[in-house]
Structure 1
């Protein structure tokens, strides 16, 4: 059975059959009417590690991490202010103030996952699949 933990940097990791996977993401599969069932555990390269048929079968700590990660994935955070955009090795790091406090948003490309919703509003998706809105108002 897969075990989910966060490392010291808060990055979700998975362990399955003695193999560790860093920077994993959890993606709900269809049907969305069963939100605790059919959860895909995916690598940073978007390869499926395993499919969780129901999060209730996970150990308590892993279930809490899964619930937290899925809740964060479904939430759309509002970016209030962009503090900086910097290149760090192979990632772009956006330091932003949001309606949930200061965060670092990690992206592979600086603007690739920034899509217009209107002439003054955009949606940004980070490498973990989290979504943020950005407005110039």
Structure 2
């Protein structure tokens, strides 16, 4: 069973999060920040003020009452956009810049990879690919991709 949190959280008329601590101090425009957005997205979340100062640390989202958890999840979803690549369909060439045609968890898309340095290795076999517009694409497990996708990706790793 969830414990009562030591703070209050609600939205104002403009949709911004308002945080009230135990002493009654109110902060408008708080932002949830994940510590480990890829490996542990529901653990280690800080609520920070507009200056980036931590107001409260949330060990696990499941520890919160449902209404607070839903507010935080909705705020995170509106701020984070990271499609997950499920399949590489085609790559224009094996030198950069190159155009990649991929299937993601949000549908098919294409993007331009400026250089191999825009592919970062994360924990285990995860990758973060940044396109020419700064959009991050996640490959959660490159070893679980289909054979053709792995073959195309290997040219850049």
- Specify the alignment match of 2:16 in structure 1: 11
Structure 2 matches for 1:7-46, cutoff 5 A?
Answer: 7-17=12-22, 18-30=24-36, 32-46=38-52
Q: Which has the higher contact order (CA 8 A, sep 6+)?
A: 1
Q: What's the Cα RMSD here?
A: 2.0
Q: Find runs of 4+ consecutive structure 1 residues off by over 4 angstroms.
A: none
Structure 2 matches for 1:56-95, cutoff 5 A?
Answer: 56-75=62-81
Summarize the Cα distance change of 1:32–1:3 in structure 2 as closer, same or farther, 3 Å threshold: farther
| CA deviation profile, 1:2-35 (whole Å, cap 9, x unmatched) | 3221101111111221221111001001363111
SS of the residue corresponding to residue 69 of structure 1 reads: helix
TM (norm. structure 1) is: 0.52
- Specify the alignment match of 2:54 in structure 1: 48
User: What runs of 5+ residues in structure 2 fail to find an aligned partner?
Assistant: 83-130, 136-157
Any conservation in 2 of the 1:3–1:59 contact (CA below 8 Å)?
no
For residues 14 and 69 of structure 2, what CA distance do their matches in structure 1 show? 19
For residues 62 and 73 of structure 2, what CA distance do their matches in structure 1 show? 10
Residue 52 of structure 1, CA deviation = 0.6
For residues 73 and 40 of structure 1, what CA distance do their matches in structure 2 show? 14
Count of paired positions: 81
- Max radius of gyration: which structure? 2
